[in-house]
Amino acid sequence: MEMRRITTPLSDDVVGELKAGDKILLSGTIYTARDTAHKRFIDTLRAGGSLPFEIKGQVIYYCGPSPVLPGRAIGAAGPTTSGRMDVYTPTLLSLGLKGMIGKGKRSQAVKDAIVKHKAIYFGATGGAGALLSKAVLSYEVVAYEELGPEAVARLVVKDLPLFVINDIAGNDLYEMGMSGYRR
Amino acid sequence: MREVQADTVRDTVERLFIEANYDLPEDVIGRFKDALGEEESSVGREIIEELLLNARIARDERIPICQDTGLAILFMEIGQGVHITGGDLEEAVAEGVRRAYKKGYLRKSACDPFTRTNTGDNTPPILHVRIVPGERIRLIAMPKGGGSENYSEVRMLTPSDGAEGVKRFVLEMVQKAGPNPCPPITVGIGIGGNFETSALLSKEALMLPFGKRNDDPYLRDLELSILGEVNKLGIGPEGYGGSVTALDLHIKSRPCHIASLPVAVNIQCHAHRIKEASI
């Protein structure tokens, strides 16, 4: 399959060209955040505070890596199930979040927000944490260190292999893929 | 009577959880290779190739197979002729888990249900003990991730629901889970007993080897029938569409109350990590 290389931060033009089913290789800076970090983001915003990093144009990776291995940038680093973040996601998209990396289905509210705010949702191969870790060049905790594996970290990645799941036209790779093989 | 030191149990537990998280069992790898021949979707085959490569990288470069190194589930079969000495058995198991998750650079995923504060060492483990004849201890470590466990359920069906009701329940669960539990999945079905035994049976069903069919011809046919239906759902590897949604499906069953038909469905991700040892 043909692969396209893209780099963060993501522009509207690049996001607009991506279609559900495209295989891409992502490079640049991304941020890890999962369940508890998302809850804190929203609690912070509600209390009038600001997020621990500038979210505009950025990509969040739903990932809680295993501990950094000796001589490596990170431990295993695959995606967690994105759906648990759905209740928090539309708010982050309205603040300029451009991309999300995870695995699994999103709610209709998230898919609608992806279309509205011109964002993109990528799938990384769940359960391929060893393979995906090799695309990570650096790992640096930037917030909520006390959360351990759930801390927010800045990752620099090179050619992280991803599929486009939900695009700005409202397409969904899971629905497209399943309908072709349902008997 | 044979004496076994608690420290021996501790050290064995430590070794098993590290090995389970780095070395995918050969039969899982073999099942992936067979699935390559069965999968109709080219994207699906590409994903299975990635899973094979991931397992090879994990083994050769010593990186955990998946970052979700699971809650530590341990099944112990303790021979009734064994006397455990030199310490508290449950504490020995917990210490083995603690050491495995520290020394093995494994992720600590245990937390308080409401404050979500991490316990910091992946304890407490989930320990299932059975007393059996003999003078040996058999330990089976099965670290299991949250993504697949979240799509598991116990349901108290009524006797009139029968095998069709079981089938409907399983298909509903697999369909609802879709791509989320990291397919191709393995499905464990526990039928009978009561509320809690059905759940335990479903987990034990996951521990059966690939291709092992139930000895009871009725249940054997039911396994094959439900597996066939699951693989017609079209979910496929990672949910990107395909003909291999489940690698296998096992049923474990026992008698239940005349008023009940308890059924549990436990879903396992493709990274079916399991290691056993005997002391």
pLDDT at B70: 96
A69 and B65 within 8 Å at the Cβ level: the answer is no
Angstrom distance (rounded) from CA B277 to CA B12: 8
B196 reaches A (C-beta below 8 A): no
Q: Is residue B18 less than 8 Å (CB to CB) from chain A?
A: no
Contacts of B51 in chain A (CB under 8 A): 125, 127-128
Nearest to B64 among A75, A176, A177 (CB): A75
Q: Give me the pLDDT at residue A1, please.
A: 56
> Per CATH, which fold does A3-181 belong to?
fumarase (3.20.130)
Q: Where are the domains of chain A?
A: 3-181
- Chain A residues with beta carbon closer than 8 angstroms to that of B241: 174, 176-181
Q: What percent of chain A has pLDDT over 90?
A: 95
Flag if A76 and B65 touch (Cβ within 8 Å): yes
Cα angle B212-B216-B220, degrees, rounded to a multiple of 5? 50
CA distance A33 to chain B (A): 14
Q: From B54, which residue of chain A is nearest by alpha-carbon distance?
A: A131
Confidence of residue A183 (pLDDT cuts 50, 70, 90): confident
- Segment A49-92, tens digit of pLDDT: 999 999 999 999 999 999 999 999 999 999 999 999 999 999 99
Summary mean pLDDT of chain A: 95
Nearest to A79 by CA among A120, A31, A122, A124: A124
In chain A, residues with a C-beta closer than 8 Å to the C-beta of B69 are 66, 76
Quote the minimal CA–CA distance from A146 to chain B in Å.
9
Bridge partners (DSSP) listed for residue A99: A59, A120
Angle between helices B89-103 and B6-22 (to 10 degrees): 40
- The alpha helices in chain B, defined as continuous H runs, are 6-22, 26-38, 42-61, 89-103, 146-149, 162-177, 195-206, 217-230
User: With contacts defined as CB-CB under 8 Å, which chain A residues touch B107?
Assistant: 64-67, 75-76, 149
Report the pLDDT value the prediction gives residue A3, as an integer from 0 to 100: 84
**Residue type present at position B210:** F
B50/A128 touch (CB, cutoff 8 Å), yes or no: yes
> Residue A5: beta bridge partners?
A25
B103 touches chain A (CB under 8 A): no
Residues 6+ apart with CB under 8 A from A70: B105
Interchain CB contact of B107 with A (< 8 Å): yes
User: Chain A: nearest CA to B193, how far in angstroms?
Assistant: 32
- Inspect the interface and report whether the beta carbons of A81 and B118 lie closer than 8 Å: no
Q: Write down the pLDDT at residue A2.
A: 67
Which of B50, B182, B234 comes nearest A180 by C-beta? Answer: B234
Contact (CB, 8 A) for B153 and B187: no
Question: Nearest CA to CA, how far is A28 from chain B (Å)?
Answer: 21
Please provide the CATH number assigned to the domain covering B146-271: 3.30.1330
Distance from CA of B222 to the nearest CA of A (A): 19
Chain A's closest residue to B229, CA to CA, is A183
Q: Quick one: pLDDT at residue A78? A: 96
- Domain range summary for chain B, segments of one domain joined by +: 2-20+65-143, 146-271
Measure in Å the smallest separation between the Cα of B156 and chain A Cα atoms. Answer: 27
Order the strands of the B261-268 sheet from edge to edge: B153-157, B261-268, B185-193, B246-256
Give contacts of A180 with chain B, Cβ < 8 Å.
41, 234, 241
What CATH architecture does domain B2-20+65-143 belong to?
2-Layer Sandwich (3.30)
B249 contacts B189 by C-beta, under 8 angstroms: yes
Chain B residue with Cα closest to A75: B63
Is A67's CB within 8 Å of B107's CB? yes
Query: Which residues in chain A touch residue B238, judged by CB atoms under 8 angstroms apart?
Result: 103, 123, 125-126
Closest Cα in chain A to B244: A181
Other residues' Cβ atoms within 10 Å of the Cβ of residue B113: 5
Nearest to B76 by CA among B123, B142, B162, B26: B142
Tokens found for residue B45: 């085959």
Low-confidence ranges of chain B (pLDDT < 50): none
Q: Which residue of B has its CA nearest to A23?
A: B43
Q: Which residue of B has its CA nearest to A79?
A: B67
